[in-house]
Structure 1
Amino acid sequence: MKKNLLLLFFAASFISNAQTKDKIDTTKLFKELTDQVCSCIDSIPTFNRVKDSITADISACIDDKVGAYQIGQKFSNIDLSNPSGEKKEINVTLNLDKNSKEYKDIYYKMEQYLMDNCPTLKDKVASNNVVNNNSMSTNMEALKLYDLGMDETAKNNFKGAIEYYKKAVKIDPNFAFAYDNMGICYRRLEEFDLAIEAYEKSLKIDPNGLMPLQNIAVTYSYKKDYKKAVETYERLAKIEPNNPEVFYGIGQMYALHLNDSEKGLDNMCKAYKLYIEQKSPYRGDAEKIIQMIYAQMKKDGKEDNFNKILSTNNIKSN
């Protein structure tokens, strides 16, 4: 009922605007609504939350505006002028079934726009701040230094941030998050070996740390050591077998760097399905890689193999 009232409100607003404008500007409406979605995403908390919960909140932010855009589209195709002043009946049918093509098309259009234009979306999806026993320090001085490091990281002063993180772990050698963020700073400075060293120290403290493992894999890919990257993703899979980033990473390594399109495609298909199940906006990125693999396999005369792998993963080719 709440959603119906919201849509009726938008309908009344559009009718009022139509009295002064010839046509509803759906491009402007789309941008206004997606900007509101971005603000909604920005307000989502991520600390000590699993990724599935965060992506569900992101999906809810997008869902909230799909119906509003639908009704805007409908009214944009209706002549709302009424020079005679007579009562005019307008019938608009909306399909709010989330599995319908109409709904999905708008949802995915908004999702892709946000991936390209809402930086906070990628930050929220990439966050991996689940707190384990040694993730954070209980030492107030170490925490103070860690916070100063985070401030410098936010300013892109990575060298300054590293110094604070080093001081924090000197006080508390079991401060895993300090090592994690140290690794991120080293990676951004392209000090890849030092980044991996920092992440591995974090893993000695917390062997099940998802964030350092994922970042080690990414760092190996920057070093162009693609086989090591695959090995690290496989380590991550033992801890979190349904993490789509595992299959996406392995798929990228095989398809784009290790010259094995078939292994790359199989892993990318698995990532694609998990992204859809988890309502992750990275679904679109997996789809693009699959299209790239298709172009290569078609060129190599392996189109039948491509379709077979898609069928094995219960994905329809289009």
Structure 2
Amino acid sequence: MKKILLFLFFSLSLSSYSQTKDKIDTTKLFKELTDQACSCIDSIPTYNRIKDSITANISSCIDDKVGAYKITEQFANLDLSNPTGEKKEINVTLNLDKKSKEYKEIYYKMEKYLLDNCPTLKNKIASNNQLNNNSISKNQEALDLYYLGLDETKKDNFKGAIEYYKKAIKIDPNFAFAYDNMGICYRRLEEFDLAIDSYERSLKIDPNGLMPLQNIAVVYTYKKEYKKAVRTYEKLAKIDPNNPEVFYGIGQTYALHLNDSKKGLDNMCKAYKLYSMQKSPYRADAEKIIQMIYAQMKKDGEEDSFNKILATNNINSN
């Protein structure tokens, strides 16, 4: 099917411009626009929303700024000087096709900048606040203590937060989110066994809880129990087969810790494709791991295997 490109046309009268024009600093412009994209991302609601919907909103924030950057950059490259004073017209053709190489290059550049410089981006992507029956307590006193725990967690006062979560759970033993957040605090305090115990208590309340399962896999990685980490990710994959974090975790574990480049690459390719489909900025992280795996497989003389695995996953080796 013939591709339809989107074009914008501008007619500019030079008589409305001075004979010289100020040089536009595209580096400064890029930073200003990506910072605006970060503010847009910060305003995205995450409560009781699926991850795909959140990443779509993030992508929209970036798309808006890519378009603004391309328009301004195009004008920055025009010579608008008019020494004769004659009235002239300049037609500017601007290609805003999101599938074009030029558009993608700017989009990915902004995406990478945001990953490195916009902390709220990672928080939004990592949020897992979709509610199940026992996710949030219906007891107001337990809720109040839970929110006090969240406040302390934000201050990195993990020990103080744990005490609030414990009090909330004492009032409502089926408060799954309290166990989940207590597990996060224990993990950050490097009390890994207590973290796993908290997550497992959450899973007894909600056996299909995505957040505790994913975090158990992460904790096993910290404990260097890599095979247990893989098994946990595989269990999560059965519940949430379109979650790229699952395949990223498996791929990273095989490639970096279990010395199995082929399994690592196959899973990382699956993660990369899912990230791309969901327009997740973490696509860039998967790409980095794939490049690392390529370096290792090239060193081991397995370039053919590398290319075959990419082909199997319908990924261009370039």
Scaled by the length of structure 1, what TM-score is found?
0.94
Counterparts in 2 of 1:83-102, with a 5 A limit? 83-102=83-102
Larger % of helix: which?
1
Tell me the residue number matched to 1:299. 299
Gaps of 5+ in 2: 1-5
Report deviation, 1:84: 3.2
AA matched with 2:219? T
Q: Residue 179 in 1 paired to residue 182 in 2?
A: no
Q: 1:302 to 1:149 in 2, by over 3 A?
A: same
Deviations 1:57-108 (A, max 9, x none): 0000011111111122222222122233322322222111111111111111
Deviations 1:116-147 (A, max 9, x none): 11100000001011000000000111001001
After the TM superposition, which segments of 4 or more aligned residues of structure 1 sit over 3 Å from their partners?
A: 15-20
Contact 1:142 1:168 in 2 (8 A): yes
Q: Residue 161 in 1 paired to residue 157 in 2?
A: no
Q: 1:83 to 1:18 in 2, by over 3 A?
A: closer
Counterparts in 2 of 1:19-38, with a 5 A limit? 21=22, 23-38=23-38
Counterpart-to-counterpart distance in 1, 2:212 and 2:84 = 69
Q: 1:32 to 1:16 in 2, by over 3 A?
A: farther
Counterpart-to-counterpart distance in 1, 2:168 and 2:160 = 13
Contact 2:19 2:83 in 1 (8 A): no
Contact 1:242 1:274 in 2 (8 A): yes
Tell me the residue number matched to 1:56. 56
Q: Residue 138 in 1 paired to residue 138 in 2?
A: yes
Counterpart-to-counterpart distance in 2, 1:102 and 1:87 = 32
Counterpart-to-counterpart distance in 1, 2:17 and 2:201 = 62
Report deviation, 1:269: 0.3
Counterpart-to-counterpart distance in 1, 2:20 and 2:205 = 66
AA matched with 2:100? S
Counterpart-to-counterpart distance in 2, 1:20 and 1:283 = 39
Identity percentage of aligned residues = 81
Counterpart-to-counterpart distance in 1, 2:74 and 2:258 = 48
Counterpart-to-counterpart distance in 2, 1:18 and 1:157 = 60
Counterpart-to-counterpart distance in 1, 2:218 and 2:163 = 23
Counterpart-to-counterpart distance in 2, 1:16 and 1:51 = 47
Q: 1:16 to 1:66 in 2, by over 3 A?
A: farther
Counterpart-to-counterpart distance in 2, 1:180 and 1:246 = 18
Q: 1:302 to 1:144 in 2, by over 3 A?
A: same
Query: Partner of 1:93: helix, strand, or coil?
Result: strand
Report deviation, 1:16: 6.5
Report deviation, 1:203: 0.4
Counterparts in 2 of 1:1-318, with a 5 A limit? 21=22, 23-318=23-318
Query: Partner of 2:91: helix, strand, or coil?
Result: coil
Contact 1:187 1:219 in 2 (8 A): yes
Contact 1:275 1:282 in 2 (8 A): yes
Query: Partner of 1:91: helix, strand, or coil?
Result: strand
Deviations 1:147-186 (A, max 9, x none): 1101100111000000000000000000000000000000
Tell me the residue number matched to 2:3. none
AA matched with 2:126? A
Query: Partner of 2:89: helix, strand, or coil?
Result: coil
Contact 2:220 2:228 in 1 (8 A): yes
Contact 2:54 2:124 in 1 (8 A): yes
Q: 1:195 to 1:222 in 2, by over 3 A?
A: same
Deviations 1:231-278 (A, max 9, x none): 110110111011111100000000000000000000000000000111
Counterpart-to-counterpart distance in 1, 2:226 and 2:43 = 36
Q: 1:4 to 1:295 in 2, by over 3 A?
A: closer
Contact 1:18 1:24 in 2 (8 A): no
Number of residues of Structure 1 aligned to a counterpart in Structure 2:
311
Q: 1:230 to 1:17 in 2, by over 3 A?
A: farther
